Structure 1
Amino acid sequence: MNQWSRLKLTRSWWLFSELLGRVEVWNTSGDFAADVRILEDRSALEFLTPAGFRPPIAEWGLLVGDAVHNARSALDALVWDLAHSEGATPGAPHRVMFPVTKSEREWKSTVKSLETVPEGPLERMRLAQPWAVESPEPNQSWLKILSRLDNDDKHRGRVVALPMQESIGLDMNGLSLGEPLPEGGYMHMWGSGLDGTEPAGTPFARFGLGARIAGDPAVHRTASIQLAPAVVVFDQMIPVAALQQEMLGFIRGLLDEVAAGAELHETWITPQTRSHD
């Protein structure tokens, strides 16, 4: 890994840390609670957006975009050095970047501009392409996710931060359960989550307890809310913490693999993600 790649990767890590720190401060600065209501058929609880809940999603999204772009630039910086190794001069320097392609046919077309990159590193880049990596899910490639996030931020500004379902705290005291339900327990969160765009009282999550709620609890129920930022890409919700820890770990390994032939750990190829509506 060259010095500029290392600096770009370090900068990306710092920006992710800055974001997570700001979210923690925001969570600590307010005591947010959502009203909880029982569905009419008593099969689940529903969480409602509280009044005045306006997290600074746009600001957090800017930090995510900057962090992602620095991570992408770390890969491009390495390829730039490789293309100029031993005094070589690429024919189209403005097209020298780390390729992320959709197919082997696209790869062959794209790498024509990388004619001065040594054969060994170029082949290792080919083996890391999303289409060349075996995965049960076609979009679960960190390289593909990184490229999409970077392009989304540049062209459409659709990188956002969302709350995760684990950040909802609910006191279950006073609830009793009756007959079991076939769907079992679950937590479902709508795509908009708590991004500040929905009016107060809008449901943002539903919690199934695995059984019908018995009795008629008289106590007014609320759930505490702590945000944990995430991004949505390819209909997957990925925590920002995973981008920092797992994605940057993958990129660090990929840089070493391409530059020096160090073995790329297989578990770094694809992320652990969750579905999103």
Structure 2
Amino acid sequence: MTINQWSRLKLTRSWWIFSELLGRVETWNTSGEFSADVRVLEDRTALEFLTPSGFRPPVAEWGLLLGDAVHNARSALDALVWDLAHSDGATPSKPGRVAFPVTTNEREWMNNMKALEMVPGAHLERIRLAQPWVTSPDNPQLDWLSVLSRLDNDDKHRGRVVAVPLEEGVELHLNGLTLGDRLPEGGYFHVWGSGLSGTEAAGTPFARFGFGALIAGEDTAAGTATINLAPAVTVFDQVFPVGALQEGMLRYVRQVLDEVATGSELQEAWITPESFDPTAGPPR
């Protein structure tokens, strides 16, 4: 069996929406610089970045797009299982429960078997082998399918997107600081919590930057920093940049679709827009 057209369209639609989201973030980054005050810590080991007044990243808008992208990816899996459950004219006894199960242990898997009674045995075994408790037994929660399932559920209830400062996008504007003795911990860039949501009060520290050496001199005012931001979301207490979801999670979903449908991974690039007429826009 080959992957059905609806699964293909849904997954490719997800790729397009992720791209639209990242494009909007890039436009937001370039249309108005995010500039934060920077101060020297009292012990002079690092710089601290402070949330500016009026900082309001459009995280609600980003969250809506993320929810649409995630739901389309999840629907791609469900569409394949729906076709499998109707193979050769079969009729599932509970069609409303026919979906691609994502389970974290064997008991959960067995509880989902009844709804998949019409899925051919070989395909059902491939679905079982794709389960997070099989592919990632040490930490099934961080398997891409678990992340996808939680994100799809969180979008309906309590999902949120935050803005994460990018270390490679930090441009410091300092007042002639000089460095002294080296520090054993070396250089680092640490962001507080899971990112910025726009609800932080002005002056709230949100990140630290260490040079790997003490900051010399007596001045405590360091200057400012221009920072590029990226959208990210917290799943199972771990922060996932949206770019990683597009590149990692979607490609993994495509691999699962290939393996469940055919028993092997296909070497097709149908997830990317090169497979479509670029003048036609995203599939709908």
Please give the TM-score of this superposition, normalised by the length of structure 2: 0.87
Number of residue pairs matched? 264
Specify the alignment match of 1:251 in structure 2: 253
Aligned pair in 2 of structure 1 residues 180, 135: CA closer, same or farther (>3 Å)?
A: farther
SS of 1:97 mapped into structure 2: coil
Amino acid at match of 1:189: V
Matches of 1:171 and 1:262 in 2, distance apart?
53
SS of equivalent residue, structure 1 residue 37: strand
Quote how far apart the aligned CAs of 1:220 are: 4.8
2:47 corresponds in structure 1 to 45
CA 1:134–1:56 in 2, change beyond 3 Å: closer, same or farther? closer
Aligned to 1:95: 97
In the TM superposition, what whole-angstrom CA distance separates every residue of 1:182-229 from its partner, at most 9, and x where no partner exists?
332222111253321011111010112222111235875110021111
Q: Kindly report which structure 2 residues correspond to 1:64-79, keeping only aligned pairs within 5 A, or say none.
A: 64-79=66-81
CA contact (8 A) 1:84 1:117 kept: yes
Asked if the contact 2:189/2:210 (under 8 Å) is kept, the reply is: yes
Deviation at 1:101, TM superposition (A): 0.8
How far the C-alpha of 1:10 sits from its partner, in A, is 1.2
* AA in 1 matched with 2:162: A
Partner AA of 1:222 in structure 2: T
Corresponding position of 1:274: none
Q: Are the counterparts in 2 of residues 174 and 217 from structure 1 also a CA contact under 8 Å? A: no
The 3 A distance-change label for structure 1 pair 182 and 135 is farther
SS of the residue corresponding to residue 162 of structure 2 reads coil
Tell me the C-alpha RMSD between the 2 structures: 1.9
Equivalent residue, structure 2, for 1:61: 63
Match of 1:141 among 143, 146, 158: 143
AA paired with 1:249? R
Q: CA deviation at 1:25?
A: 1.1
Q: Deviations over 1:13-63 (max 9, x none)?
A: 111111111111111110221000000010111000111211111010110
Q: Pairwise mapping of residues 226-245 of structure 1 onto structure 2 (< 5 A)?
A: 226-245=228-247
Which SS does the other structure have where 1:227 is aligned?
Answer: strand
| Distance 1:251-1:138 versus aligned 2 partners, 3 A rule | closer
Q: Which has the higher contact order (CA 8 A, sep 6+)?
A: 2
The equivalent of 2:37 in structure 1 is 35
User: Percent identity at matched positions?
Assistant: 69
Contact 2:38 / 2:221 at 8 angstroms: preserved in 1? Answer: no
What is aligned with 1:17? 19
Larger strand fraction of residues = 2
Listed one character per residue, the Cα deviations across residues 212-268 of structure 1 (whole Å, up to 9, x for unaligned) are 111235875110021111111111111111111111111111101100111489xxx
